[in-house]
Structure 1
């Protein structure tokens, strides 16, 4: 993202926000269309936190929708929110490219769009007021660093072999976390071999099946990187069932099950990310835009490394 384009986007966002702040008379109607609330506990917790945050703000009325992982349904929900003439729309994209026409339509209708959690593809950036969420490329990079550091502690950084379980194909978060890991691992541990990557679709059971296939295919696996801890624990379960010990498991988005596995000494590390922070940041970004305040185009919140060594510094995730 070029600085000049970001500056233009921030400036145009401020103008739109000022106009909206004048038109809605102080009471804001904010619509949200989420990705797939039922798919995992992170998204369930996010929705609860978002609703709680809107109910705690007397100046906000919320229209809360869920696409159920269906791109066509999400596009229809965007159309519905545009027809309702809400003041702002928050979208958690089901697919970073497919939703761009609907986001453009909202933008052309004068409704600022805030993308939450997982960004849309770059060709849609002109139609977005702000992205609020984690820096997923940085998360993938940090996961690679966690794994490399552990391999160095074990003295296997020149021979270790790694498999990767990525998220849902076409989903921006999955693409970015894989890119961050793929790019960073050879920088910090150039002699580690990334043997194969397969998608786990954010699903624990599917990820367990993917790992079972890896274990049959490869006699030598030293590390597993998963795009989130839900998938990572699925991979861990497969290794435990097969009696394969000594594998280093690293994930991202530290779920409660990942935290518990770390406490048990079975899972090495992850990236700490709160769905409550995520939801509250998205709502605050939307409100700031509507109030005409200047917000960064990429409005990231921090997601630090967490391992067995420092997990006592972090509370157990609530999701």
Structure 2
């Protein structure tokens, strides 16, 4: 049987969320980043709703900011007015949401950050963070790039959405670890792909026009990584380039199966959603939880991918 991804800080989840009496008469609100932007967030929302439906006595208010910071702030304010027992927020912008997170804290409502953390200025106002360690993910991607290029070469980087904590942290972890592990690998240029496959493809097309030699591409997630791969294939240059991503999407897994994509970081949106909900329930029930609740996101490459189930997103 293939590996089922486990959490490091929780016992996920099944029986825990189905233990109804511990979660009775709770109301939890969640405002998400942008459900429609990719299949990870779509799968996350579905898993969150499913887990909540199995918890007796739990009412949820499930909102989506659609990538709009102002809309997310308004949703947070609405949840504060509703006096929910806890708020889960997947921030559209880790800095911009700090004031409204402070408002919830001042109203006595615990805030759980999910998936992508908020800025340091807001850490004192949150009950917990639940999600992946994005700096570690960037480090893992750097290590895979070093392996793929044997420690030397010229690469380009396609980052996520500017101002978005996950994008910032993955880029930070990647660049720092790359400099440590293989200083012979040079990042020639970094451009944002905004988590969008089509935009990443356009960014890569520009890179291919600008640079005669590209040995590797690091993309902040596989959705963008496959966009870059598609551009390189169209230009007849894919065979010369090592593609490394993060958040292993099904399309990335399939590209690995075809031998076109070197590696990524395995991350489950189901674990992500369930961990966030369980953290909120534990906080409401007065349980002591770690401030940073990370779940496992191991490296996945062509050499070990048979140990992992194909992502469902």
Structure 1 length as normaliser, TM-score?
0.90
2:27 to 17, 26, 29: 29
| Corresponding residue for residue 282 of structure 1 | 276
After alignment, is 43-52 or 54-63 more displaced? 54-63
What is the DSSP-based 3-state SS (H/G/I as helix, E as strand, rest coil) of the residue aligned with 1:148? helix
Task: For residue 236 of structure 2, give the secondary structure of its aligned residue in structure 1.
Answer: coil
Q: Which residue does the alignment assign to 2:3? A: none
Give the aligned partner of residue 218 of structure 2: 225
SS of the counterpart of 1:46? helix
Are 2:123 and 1:120 equivalent residues in the alignment?
A: no
CA distance in 1, matches of 2:154, 2:57: 54
Matching residue within 82, 85, 88 for 1:87:
85
**Counterparts of residues 1-319 of structure 1 (less than 5 Å):** 26-152=24-150, 157-158=151-152, 160-244=153-237, 245-319=239-313
For residues 25 and 228 of structure 1, do their structure 2 counterparts lie closer, same or farther at Cα, with a shift above 3 Å needed?
A: closer
Give 4+ residue runs of structure 1 displaced > 6 Å after superposition.
Answer: none
- The runs of 5 or more residues in structure 2 that have no matched partner are 1-21
Cα deviations by residue, 1:197-253 (Å, 9 ceiling, x for unpaired): 000000000000000000000001000000000000000000000000220000000
What CA distance in whole angstroms lies between the structure 2 residues aligned with 1:25 and 1:146?
42
Structure 1 window deviating more from structure 2 (224-233 vs 52-61): it is 52-61
CA contact (8 A) 2:23 2:55 kept: no
Structure 1 residues 25 and 36, CA, compared in 2 at 3 Å: closer, same or farther? closer
State the distance in 1 between where 2:203 and 2:149 align: 23
Gaps of 5+ in 1: 1-23
CA distance in 2, matches of 1:59, 1:299: 25
**2:23·2:57 contact (CA, 8 Å) conserved in 1?**
no
> Structure 1, residues 140-176: CA drift from partner, whole Å, max 9, x if none?
0000001101222xxxx23x10100000000000000
Correspondence for 1:11 = none
Distance in 2 between the 1:165 and 1:286 partners?
Answer: 33
Distance in 1 of aligned mates of 2:146 and 2:23: 54
Residue 52 of structure 1, CA deviation: 0.2
How far off its partner does 1:59 sit? 2.9
The structural deviation recorded for 1:25 is 9.2
- Matches of 2:240 and 2:175, distance apart in 1: 22
- Cα distance in 2 between the residues matched to 1:178 and 1:26: 41
Partner of 2:18: none
Cα deviation for residue 26 of structure 1 reads: 3.5
Shift of 1:190: 1.0
Distance in 2 between residues matched to 1:31 and 1:221, nearest whole Å: 45
